[in-house]
Amino acid sequence: MPERIIIADASCLISLQNIGMLAVLRSLYSDIVVTTRVMQEFGEKLPAWISVSDPATAGYLEMLALNLDAGEASAIALALENPGSLLIIDERKGRAVARQQGLQLIGTLGILVAAKERGIITAIRPILDILERNGFRVSTALRNGILKRLGE
């Protein structure tokens, strides 16, 4: 059985890069795929373990681009073309569309929770603090729920 394809939108990449923790993604997923548009939104040279692939057809992309930004639309379109893939996406509107399409998804916070649960990081609280100082928005209820779940 082929390995699951992990497709990322730019927000998680940017957030983790901004705090020097992009390697956490590599620790969880050895290979990640982004679209050309997501690569452009990331704005820096991608590490070798992140490859670029675009949706094969324009149908999904054109439909999604009516309501989402170009990066989100391209990532969701690529995920729709790859059944069983995991989509890394943070924006509320994009997550809602991805869920409506039946896609499996995770966000930056889910990545950090998984990293903590697997022992890749020792504590999530200081990372949440740094993310929030860098403009990442987390509701108090979600933050408290994560910290409680992880015993922090």
Sheet of strand 32-34: strand arrangement: 50-52, 32-34, 6-8, 86-88, 104-106
Q: What is the count of structural domains for the chain?
A: 1
- Amino acid sitting at position 59: G
Whole-angstrom Cα Rg for the chain: 15
> Residue 16 belongs to a domain with what CATH number?
3.40.50.1010
Alpha-carbon distance 120 to 99, whole Å?
28
Instruction: List strand residue ranges (DSSP E) for 32-122, in order.
Output: 32-34, 50-52, 86-88, 104-106
pLDDT in tens, the chain (152 residues): 346 899 999 999 999 999 999 999 999 998 899 999 999 999 999 999 999 999 887 777 677 777 888 899 999 999 999 999 999 999 999 999 999 999 999 999 999 999 999 999 999 999 999 999 999 999 999 999 999 999 98
Q: Which domain holds residue 92?
A: 1-152
Place of tokens 């509701």: 139
- pTM across the whole model: 0.91
Alpha-carbon distance of 127 to 40, in angstroms, equals 26
